Amino acid sequence: MNPLPGFRDFYPETLALRRHIFDRWRAVARRYGFREYDGPPLEPLELYTLKSGDEIVSQLYNFVDKGDRAVALRPEMTPTLARMVGAKHRDYKKPIKWFAIPQLFRYERQQRGRLREHFQFNADIIGATDVTADAELIALAIDTLRSFGLTEQDFVVRVSDRRAWQRHLDELGIPVDNQYAVFQAVDKLEREPLEKTREKIAAMTPRVDEVLAFPKDNLQELLDHLGELKKFCRVDFKIVRGLAYYTGIVWEIHDRKGELRAIAGGGRYDNLLKLISGVDLPALGFGMGDVVLGELLKGRGLLPKLDADLDCYVVIADETLRNAARTVVQQLRDAGVAVDYPLSPAKVSKQFQAAAATGARWAVVIGPEEWPSGEVTLKNLATGSQERIKISDLPERMK
């Protein structure tokens, strides 16, 4: 029995990597004043058919539950957030700055960097209309990637604006109802043969070349608010985003070499809360996945060495001291030290091998010579140096 295609087993080494990524996400979100929330992984199907867009709806894991409800595993977090904020917005001061790390499910075509489940760092601001909020989110995304050791040589933020795109298509006489179809075609520009994109646009307007001449706008106000971080950004109207609900500035982060799928993407979606919850609040945010990020970190040699994080291994030099050893183990654990010890009798040399395999910094030897005088031998496993110390001093020394 294997896991389903596109689903991952997380063995301890891979889970340690996932936790490394989550820890950084949380730390940077906290620095920016965002609070963590979560919602249900299973939602009413309708939450996504309302406004997420055809592509994501075609990728849904959906079914009818035993109560005859049409339900879907969440493919993205934004509709859930819109529902949650709409229901309780009076309880929170605006702007609301929240983040989440949901596991999301999409029945995607198998390809590099795209799986059928992934974790996504979501950060959103609700109740802010100024471009300063767009800049704040882009800054958060940049600082998040920098916190992993990535630099401007590694990634680029490609910024664009749906309003500039709308003006461009208005000027070409393309009716509003046809504009989203054009956006979907442009969104695929770098992932499909150009001819296919042109065909899709031609179905909406004969002015294909003019559409592909792109809007002209330098997004100066946004870039000004980014200050120093401007060097990470590039105005690029090939970005429109595939999701249907975006209404303003949109952006994606890509690796500089352009080898991988997007690392992150987001933008402003001022109408979604009204549509989902009836509460009219402006909103913006982004999502950053763990899959492409993990590949990029691996490619750049930026994955830290992630061993088991044990502090200490207790070696039982004489089996008659097992109860004594148990007491020491308990004392250390009570003091917050991460401790392991052999569960069955073993030669001392075998126990030291086990200690080395756990990656513990210290070994504490409980031996017949030291024990009667209330002492143990503390050995530094990295340097090999050892000393006899009082059992009562042990927890302090470990810290």
- Contacts to ligand HAM by CB under 6 A: 76-78, 106, 108, 114-115, 118, 120, 122, 124, 243, 262-266, 285-289, 291-292
Q: Which is nearer to ligand HAM, 51 or 118 (CB)?
A: 118
Q: Which is nearer to ligand HAM, 159 or 243 (CB)?
A: 243
Q: Which is nearer to ligand HAM, 87 or 348 (CB)?
A: 87
Cis bond before residue 95 (omega within 30° of 0): yes
Residue 301, number of CB atoms within 10 A of its CB: 7
Minimum CB–partner distance for residue 17 and ligand HAM (Å):
15
Q: Which is nearer to ligand HAM, 162 or 379 (CB)?
A: 162
Phi and psi angles of residue 284, each rounded to the nearest 5 degrees, phi first: -160, 155
Minimum CB–partner distance for residue 239 and ligand HAM (Å):
11
* C-alpha to C-alpha distance for 226 and 117, rounded to whole angstroms: 33
Minimum CB–partner distance for residue 301 and ligand HAM (Å):
21
* C-alpha to C-alpha distance for 361 and 370, rounded to whole angstroms: 21
Q: Which is nearer to ligand HAM, 80 or 179 (CB)?
A: 80
User: Do the strands 386-390 and 70-73 form a parallel or antiparallel pair, or are they unpaired?
Assistant: unpaired
Q: Which two tokens stand for residue 35?
A: 């609070």
Residue nearest to ligand HAM (CB): 289
For 192, which DSSP code? S
Minimum CB–partner distance for residue 253 and ligand HAM (Å):
7
Which residues fall within 8 angstroms of residue 193, CB to CB, at 6 or more apart? none
Minimum CB–partner distance for residue 6 and ligand HAM (Å):
8
Minimum CB–partner distance for residue 132 and ligand HAM (Å):
17
What is the DSSP secondary-structure string of 332-376?
Answer: HHHTT--EE--SS---HHHHHHHHHHHT-SEEEEE-TTTGGGTEE
- CA distance from start to end of the chain: 44
Q: Which is nearer to ligand HAM, 126 or 364 (CB)?
A: 126
